[in-house]
Amino acid sequence: MTTTLEGLETRPAQAWGSIRLVPLVRDEPVPRLRLHRRAFEEPVTVVDVGDAAYVSFIPHAFVATWSDDDQAQAASYGARLLERDTRAAPPRMPVRFTRRMARKVGKDRLRFLPLHLAVEGYLALHFGGPEIAWEEWSRRAVAHGLSPRCEESYLGRQVRGLEDALRIFEIHPGQCGVLVYVADTLASAFVVPHSDDYRALHPTLVEDLFGELIYMYGLLGAPARDLSAPIDPAGVRTLGDLRAAAETREAEWAAFHDEVMAGRLFDEAGSRQAVQSLHGFELTRFLPSFALGRENHIGEIITGGDGEVAYLKTFRLSEAQVRRGYLLRRLAEHDWRLDATAAALGADPAGLALRLERAGFGYLLRQDVLDHFRAQRRATSGPRRGRPPGSAPRSG
């Protein structure tokens, strides 16, 4: 099923430095669905995902269940030296225990962690590793797959200019979403069912996750381009003419934005996975096709029975993350056979092995196999350019 932002109208953008926010407005809110934030006072949250393990790393903290005076979850902090038989618990702080990424908490309520659902889908991509113990793969790869699998991200407040832009920009009447651009690169999309939901959740964008590419663009501070189209004064004689010209320019901007700037938000060649359904609404997460040389977004979405987008939150993958997803997908398509995958990519097994190493997957290959491919590549690459064969390096 093709996903679009039909039902949401694009309004004129607002720019602040390198940040461009494009409002999305609904004529009518999505009926029978509301979205709100629930914030816990505890500084640490533990997520239980059943048989798998999902860890949100908090420096200098360990999570444990204490049984001396209560059964509450707690996280220890700091370091102490104790006698061997001392049973006193170290200093600790309370934590909130969350059952799953997405969990029904009543007959008409569904709780989920924003963006964590989408990120979990990316981290779990072919997480099991080789299904057949081909001789090239290490024992660790066969036994444990891609564990541990980790990726880096940045909070929105770390993206330069975003927090200021969210504070000073106006919220349009009926606004139910926003597309965030950094240096005219689509960073994320955020859509909710009701305009009241958006007003309540607008500040939480600084708590969203953003990739390395967006963080670096924020640091560079390249200003957003001036995309406004001037009105020809020769065709304006009355206020009615001015109003009509302004409406034409607004429609032209919306068409340009939707077709050009945001045209690759959804990837028809990607994949989707249904997570939960509730009263005719379905919560799904989606992955792109990991096509190289283009933007790729992961995300989570709630749609109604008519396919209308009620909720959406996306994450722009960096080029390195796209390459990792691309390699994993191509390996899985060829049953993790190194030679077959290399042939499909137009490369030799040595080139593919070194490509995997550069992508951070070198640990999947046996060390002797990787060393053999390195030596093979050095032997076939020939002498370094600029020095005749057999010549000695010049001394200083």
Which among 22, 24, 19 has a CA at the least distance from the CA of 164? 19
Chain-centroid distance of CA 266 in Å reads 13
Integer CA distances (angstroms), 21 to 7, 166, 186, in order: 19, 8, 10
Integer CA distances (angstroms), 161 to 188, 211, 227, in order: 15, 15, 19
Look up residue 259 and give its DSSP letter: I
Q: How far apart are CA 189 and CA 309, in angstroms?
A: 12
Which among 119, 137, 136 has a CA at the least distance from the CA of 128? 137
- Residues with Cβ within 8 Å of residue 14, at least 6 apart in sequence: 20, 21, 23, 165, 169, 170
- Residues with Cβ within 8 Å of residue 203, at least 6 apart in sequence: 166
Per-domain boundaries in the chain: 9-37+152-317, 337-381
Q: Which pLDDT score, from 0 to 100, does residue 393 have? A: 46
| Residue 245, SS3 per DSSP | helix
Q: Which pLDDT score, from 0 to 100, does residue 15 have? A: 92
Other beta carbons within 10 angstroms of residue 228's beta carbon come to: 11
Q: Which pLDDT score, from 0 to 100, does residue 3 have? A: 72
Other beta carbons within 10 angstroms of residue 156's beta carbon come to: 22
- Residues with Cβ within 8 Å of residue 382, at least 6 apart in sequence: none
pTM of the predicted model as reported, rounded to 2 decimal places: 0.75
- Residues written for the chain: 396
Query: What b/e string do you get for 61-83 counting C-beta neighbours within 10 Å, with b at 16 or more?
Result: eebeeeeeeeeebbbbbeeeeee
| pLDDT mean values, one per 10 residues, the chain (396 residues) | 81 93 93 69 48 42 38 48 51 51 53 69 78 76 75 90 93 95 95 91 89 92 86 84 87 90 92 83 90 93 87 92 93 91 93 91 88 84 55 43
**Is there a contact between 194 and 29 (Cβ–Cβ < 8 Å)?**
yes
